[in-house]
Structure 1
Amino acid sequence: MAENDTATPEAGTTQPQRPRMQVVAQYVRDLSFENVALMKGARIEGTPQMQVQVALDANKRGENLYEVITKVKVESKAGDVVVFLLELDYAGQFKVENIPDAQLHPYLLIECPRMTFPYVRRVIGDVTRDGGFPPLNLDNIDFLALYQQDLARRQAAQQAQGGNGSAQA
């Protein structure tokens, strides 16, 4: 007779819990849009170039509750003329359970922004369109690569601080 997979485990044994993540809330935390060229009456010649910077931040807000903020800064320039500036801090609150402490930091800064990114993209598209420009549709962001780049940058900074040539035993 086959064993029942739903049977309770024997006393003293524990089965690992499956990781769980729930989006509790998401919202625009801070938003700034400046139509610089129009305010200064500057002429826009040529196709503006966009510079997009993305940063992430995570904060604990309660037991198993975390706020993850995607910070996007967009600067549009045509030659030396700044066309517009956009800064968006978009936050999500997430209830995260059964994630080992060693994996929590990457989970918060990779998986959580993936969940909110479509809304970040929509807000930026709407704001640029409402600001008098064609909607800016951001390309997908590889949050894993972004996390790895930030980790490498931090490690290099630590080595530069402690890399004065002295060896310790």
Structure 2
Amino acid sequence: MAEQENGAAQQAPQVRMNILSQFIRDLSFENVLAQRGTGGEVQPDVQVAVNLDAKKRSAEHQYETSVKLTITSRNKGAEDPLFVLEMDYVGVFHIEGVPEDQLHPFLLIECPRMIFPFIRRIVSDVTRDGGFPPLNLENIDFMQLYRNEVARRQAETTGQRADA
């Protein structure tokens, strides 16, 4: 029995993932509150939009995953914008041993999980340096984001077929 288990373990590919590099492709922070020059009581309402993208790089086993954030903070009640932060953060990964049919979800779930702590720190620093309390992002459920996107695309495809 133990020999069969060892044989199965040897046949399963060993997943290897290394972060080769990570960088900010684009970053914008607009402090609307400071530009308007208004003061007074501020009660921020923060909205976070996340967009993910991944692609193969020219080098063998190398992939790029991009996490694009748009964070908008508005004053509760008045709906006046306080700040807008947009960031495109990229991780470059060396990945081996992931079956082809599982690569797409791996790139859009596991890779963003690996770089998210760095994204969180940058968002916190930028908002603090912009004159606001540091914004500490909640954990993002990348698996649920992926599932939602797959469901949205399936609904789009089903809707297009019904129209035809």
TM-score (norm 1): 0.86
Shift of 1:157: 0.7
Question: How many residues are treated as equivalent by the alignment?
Answer: 157
Indicate conservation of the 8 Å contact 1:44/1:81, yes or no. no
Distance 1:152 1:44 in 2: 44
Shift of 1:42: 3.0
Counterpart residue identity of residue 42, structure 1: T
Distance 2:121 2:15 in 1: 29
Counterpart residue identity of residue 71, structure 2: V
Q: Quick check: 132-141 or 42-51, which moved more?
A: 42-51
Which runs of structure 1 show a deviation greater than 4 angstroms over 4 or more consecutive aligned residues? Answer: none
Larger radius of gyration: 1
- Fraction of identical pairs, as percent: 51
Unaligned runs of 5+ in 1: none
Distance 1:131 1:145 in 2: 31
Shift of 1:120: 0.4
Residue 53 of structure 2 corresponds to which residue in structure 1?
Answer: 57
Residue 35 of structure 2 corresponds to which residue in structure 1?
Answer: 39
Residue 63 of structure 2 corresponds to which residue in structure 1?
Answer: 66
Counterpart residue identity of residue 22, structure 2: Q
Distance 1:51 1:58 in 2: 24
Distance 1:83 1:24 in 2: 36
Residue 15 of structure 2 corresponds to which residue in structure 1?
Answer: 19
Counterpart residue identity of residue 138, structure 1: L
Kindly tell me: are residues 157 and 91 of structure 1, through their superposed partners in 2, closer, same or farther at Cα, counting changes over 3 Å?
same
Shift of 1:105: 0.1
Quote the RMSD (CA, aligned, Å): 2.0
Distance 1:147 1:160 in 2: 20
TM-score (norm 2): 0.89
Question: In structure 2, the residue corresponding to 1:121 is in which secondary structure?
Answer: helix
Alignment of 1:96-135 (within 5 A): 96-135=95-134
Shift of 1:127: 0.1
Shift of 1:44: 5.0
Shift of 1:16: 3.4
